């Protein structure tokens, strides 16, 4: 019985949201709005549960000495700092200056430092690619090198010709490949969404 | 006392009023395009096609052998669901990739359960973690190896794209001898994938995000690119609806190609702007 009720609920809710997306109707808008509110509440509850789970996992790591304790302590301290900045008495929540400082002075530099390693990641990836599948990687590296030459900041007629060739390459061959992939992904995405609606209790 | 005719009249009047108060939100073209997708899929689900010629996408058909080798050598397996999650503030196209990766996780989990290989699944979204746990439970139940269920875990690595990448880089080398990363990847893809390949004997990476495809191609032994991510499950699972979805995608790609060719011709001849109609611009 339960196996039939859950898919029916999924199909019903999904179809209401789909109709709400396609059709402007006051009654459907109200029902669709309720469903979206429930979804947002579910996501918020999941967010809280996720936070609790991260803390619990780090405490277990510390207690059972499964991993590097420094990383677990750093995670817990960071978590407590963020929660403290958002919840201390009189705090303005996410827009509180303390929270903004944590994001601007700690979080963003940490993320930026990850991005600063991009060049080294690229070298490591090319090296691994050459070992795994040499011919294809050579083509990728040659194409990247050609684009680097085309994008050189040169002046005069040579620079204009290179910039024009770079623009054409990005607009025509590279643009065609990207659009082809995007069309394929869009079709696969819409079929996957339709399949989720129509066969929620499928064999897969 | 109202009679049956009055009741039916009231229902019809209500439906009529409701319909007259409605209008299409996105135009005729996009509505038809969406309904076409549903109809093609429904048709294929109702009349499953028998001719199936699958391909080994991302070396996923070799997962059973890989897990057997990992079991012999005392290895472990890891599976990352990417950086998009399910309810995170990421693009819907990216989040749907997480759902597309779940059937593949089911296949990997079944192979790990049979081989007794410890499996660690990571995600940066609490809902994705719960979905992964359900998939793991189902895999152990389906393979009658519930006593090994403690060997598989799904862990929430914290919210944010950088947390998934940072965790991947910080973990010890060889933490997953058999590594899979499938799902939505964003700018952190190089960091995430570089961390995952460290010490891994076999790797399968996949994403439908075109801009990150090059990292998947360079770093993964098995690569699943673009729409292939949505077809990957059909390569390893015999489910009818998985295959119907692949047939539907293939047929709709032919429709898209015909629209592109025919629409370009009509546009050049100045007869009709098909692209504008489909996108709701005219």
- CA distance to A177, B256, B257, B265, per residue, from B269 (Å): 26, 20, 18, 6
pLDDT tens per residue, range A12-54: 888 888 888 888 888 888 998 999 898 889 888 888 888 888 8
Question: Distance, in angstroms, between B2 CA and closest chain A CA?
Answer: 25
Q: Tell me which of A194-203, B55-64, B179-188 is least confident.
A: A194-203
**Residues of B in Cβ contact (< 8 Å) with A193:** 96
Distance from the B31 Cα atom to the nearest Cα atom in chain A, whole angstroms:
6
Cα B212 from Cα B206, distance rounded (Å): 9
Instruction: Give B 53-82 residues with CB within 8 A of chain A.
Output: none
Alpha-carbon distance A29 to B217, whole Å? 44
pLDDT for A113 equals: 87
| Chain A hits for B187, Cβ within 8 Å | 115
B 153-172 residues with CB below 8 A of A? 155-159, 162, 165-166, 169-170
Q: Classify strands B23-24 and A23-24 as parallel, antiparallel or unpaired.
A: antiparallel
Check if the beta carbon of residue B149 is closer than 8 Å to that of residue B140. yes
Burial of residue A91 (number of CB atoms within 10 Å: 0-12, 13-18, 19+): middle
Identify the pLDDT of residue B80: 94
Backbone angles phi, psi at A79, to 5 degrees: -65, -45
pLDDT digit string, tens, across residues A132-184: 888 989 999 999 999 999 988 888 888 899 999 999 999 999 999 999 999 99
Which CA distances in Å does B198 have to B169, B174, B175, B193, B267?
8, 6, 8, 9, 51
The length of chain B, given as a count of residues:
282
Q: Residue B13 pLDDT more than 60?
A: yes
* pTM score above 0.90: no
Report the distance separating Cα B158 and Cα B116, nearest Å. Answer: 28
The owner of tokens 């360079």 is B218
Backbone angles phi, psi at B205, to 5 degrees: -120, 145
Q: What is the pLDDT of residue A204?
A: 40
- Where does residue B18 fall: left (phi above 0), alpha (psi -120 to 50 degrees), or beta otherwise? alpha
Contact of B82 with B97, CB cutoff 8 Å: yes
Q: Mean of the pLDDT values across residues A108-122?
A: 87
* Section B205-234 average pLDDT: 90
Residue B123: other Cβ atoms inside 10 A? 29
Q: Do B93 and A185 touch (CB under 8 A)?
A: yes
Instruction: Map residue A23 onto helix, strand or coil.
Output: strand
Contacts of B233 in chain A (CB under 8 A): 204
pLDDT at B102: 92
DSSP code at position A200:
T
Q: Whole-angstrom Cα distance, residue A185 to residue B39?
A: 19
- State which residue of chain B sits closest to A193, comparing Cα positions: B96
* Cβ separation A18–B23 shorter than 8 A: no
Which of A141-155, B15-29, B164-178 is most confident? A141-155
Please tell me the least confidently modeled range out of A54-63, A65-74, B10-19. Answer: A65-74
Interval A61-91: pLDDT, tens: 888 876 678 888 888 898 898 889 888 898 8
Both tokens assigned to B67: 């897990």
Instruction: Test B188 with A114 for CB contact under 8 angstroms.
Output: yes
Cα–Cα distances (Å) from A189 to A182, B166, B209, B231, B256, in that order, read: 10, 28, 11, 11, 14
Inter-chain contacts counted by CB atoms under 8 A, chains A and B = 179
CA Rg value for chain B:
23
Measured between alpha carbons, how far is B248 from A192 in angstroms, rounded to an integer? 10
Answer yes or no: is pLDDT of B181 > 90. Answer: yes
Is A129–B217 a contact, with Cβ atoms under 8 angstroms apart? yes
How far apart CA A123 and CA B190 sit, in angstroms, is: 11
Q: How far apart are CA A87 and CA A72, in angstroms?
A: 22
Nearest CB to B210; choose among A178, A195, A204: A178
B240 touches chain A (CB under 8 A): yes
Report the C-alpha gap between B179 and B213 in whole angstroms: 17
Task: Give CA–CA dist A10/A36, Å, rounded.
Answer: 13
Which residues of chain B have a CB within 8 Å of the CB of A181? Answer: 210, 213, 225-227
Per-residue pLDDT reduced to its tens digit, B41-91: 888 888 777 677 777 888 888 899 999 998 888 889 999 999 998 888 888
- Is the CB of B227 less than 8 angstroms away from the CB of A49? no
Q: What is the pLDDT of residue A203?
A: 43
């Amino acid at each position: 019985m339960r196996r039939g009720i859950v898919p029916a609920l999924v199909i019903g809710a999904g179809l209401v949201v789909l109709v709400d997306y396609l059709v402007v109707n006051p009654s459907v808008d109200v029902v669709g709005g309720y469903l979206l509110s429930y979804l947002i509440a579910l996501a918020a509850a999941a967010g809280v549960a996720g936070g609790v789970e991260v803390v619990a996992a780090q405490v277990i790591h510390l207690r059972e000495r499964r991993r590097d304790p420094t990383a677990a302590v750093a995670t817990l301290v960071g978590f407590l700092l963020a929660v403290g900045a958002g919840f201390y008495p009189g705090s303005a929540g996410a827009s509180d200056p303390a929270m903004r400082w944590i994001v601007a002075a700690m979080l963003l530099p940490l993320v930026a430092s990850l991005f600063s390693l991009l060049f080294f990641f690229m070298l490591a990836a090319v090296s691994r690619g050459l070992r795994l599948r040499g011919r294809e990687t050579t083509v990728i590296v040659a194409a990247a090198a050609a684009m680097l030459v085309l994008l050189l900041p040169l002046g005069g007629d040579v620079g204009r010709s290179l910039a024009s060739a770079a623009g054409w390459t990005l607009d025509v061959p590279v643009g065609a490949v990207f659009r082809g992939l995007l069309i394929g992904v869009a079709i696969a995405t819409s079929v996957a969404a339709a399949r989720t609606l129509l066969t929620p209790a499928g064999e897969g | 006392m109202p009679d049956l005719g009055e009741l039916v009249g009231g229902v019809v009047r209500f439906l009529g009023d409701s319909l007259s108060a409605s209008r299409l939100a996105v135009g005729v073209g996009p509505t038809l395009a969406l309904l076409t997708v549903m109809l093609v899929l429904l048709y294929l689900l109702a009349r499953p096609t028998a001719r199936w010629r699958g391909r080994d996408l991302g070396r996923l058909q070799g997962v059973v052998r890989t897990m057997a080798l990992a079991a012999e050598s005392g290895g472990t397996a890891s599976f990352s669901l990417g950086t998009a999650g399910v309810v995170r503030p990421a693009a819907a196209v990216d989040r749907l990739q997480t759902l597309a990766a779940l059937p593949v996780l089911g296949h990997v989990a079944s192979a790990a359960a049979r081989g007794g290989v410890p499996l660690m699944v990571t995600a940066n979204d609490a809902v994705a973690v719960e979905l992964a746990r359900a998939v793991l439970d189902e895999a152990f139940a389906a393979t009658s190896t519930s006593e090994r269920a403690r060997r598989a875990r799904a862990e929430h690595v914290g919210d944010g794209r950088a947390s998934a990448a940072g965790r991947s880089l910080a973990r010890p080398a060889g933490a997953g001898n058999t590594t899979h990363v499938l799902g939505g990847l964003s700018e952190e893809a190089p960091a995430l994938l570089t961390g995952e390949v460290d010490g891994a004997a076999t790797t399968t990476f996949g994403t439908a995000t075109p801009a990150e495809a090059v990292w998947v191609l360079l770093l993964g032994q098995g690569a699943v690119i673009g729409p292939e991510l949505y077809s990957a499950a059909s390569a390893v699972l015999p489910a009818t609806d998985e295959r119907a979805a692949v047939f539907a995608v293939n047929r709709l790609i032919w429709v898209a190609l015909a629209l592109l060719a025919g629409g370009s011709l009509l546009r050049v001849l100045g007869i009709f702007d098909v692209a504008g109609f489909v996108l709701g611009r005219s």
